[in-house]
Amino acid sequence: MTRRTIHLAVYDTFADWEPGFATAQLTQHGHTVRTVGLTSDPVTTMGGLRVQPDLPLADLDPRDSDLLLLTGASLWDTGDTLAPFARAARVFLEAGAPVAAICGATAGLAREGLLDGRAHTSAVPFYLAATGYTGGEHYVDADAVTHPGSGAEGALITAGPTEPVAFAREILALLEVFDPKRLDAWFRLFHDSDEGAYEVLQG
């Protein structure tokens, strides 16, 4: 199986529980997850875990990636420390590579202007409105939203902080990890605790 690469951004205070549903399935279905830091220095997650980035942001190239995944973090709302990751998201989208952002990372993308013309969601509309962005008309009240890509730009996935399973669902759908029937079963199992979905998923 040809292994493909997902790049997970890591930074101090990043919400370590938010990408897990997605990355666990991706690594089991032919993908490699590599972590990207502002530098190569270790970071500490919101849960107190120490993570050593695989590469610094300066070395990240969208041509080498199937997805840039951005999680929430306290730092998204306390200054411009993480703005380089929002700029990297712009580079990805303009190169035709997809980006997935959850929780506070959506505010970072809003400040970068990446939500002004794309369907998106977040925690609540006024959270993004506080960034001063002009994309309010494109806000969708949903657990997770995928703005489809085109030949010229990459797809963008967004989700609110309470929806890591729905966030993963959109990522798994975009990267075609499961067919639609099995993806629905996976979501029902992990989001709704629907035990009947297990047989479908294993079938």
Give the contacts of 183 (CB within 8 A, at least 6 positions apart): 169, 172, 173, 177
Torsional class of 59: left (φ above 0), alpha (ψ -120 to 50), beta (otherwise) = alpha
Euclidean distance between CA atoms 35 and 188, whole angstroms: 29
Q: Give me the catalytic one of 43, 103, 145, 174.
A: 103
Interatomic CA distance for residues 161 and 171, integer angstroms: 15
Question: 3-state DSSP helix/strand/coil percent for the chain, to nearest 5?
Answer: 40, 20, 45
5 catalytic residue (yes or no): no
What DSSP assignment string belongs to 126-184? HHHHTTT-S-GGGB--SSEEEE---SSS--EEEE-TT-HHHHHHHHHHHTT-S-HHHHH
Catalytic residue numbers read 103
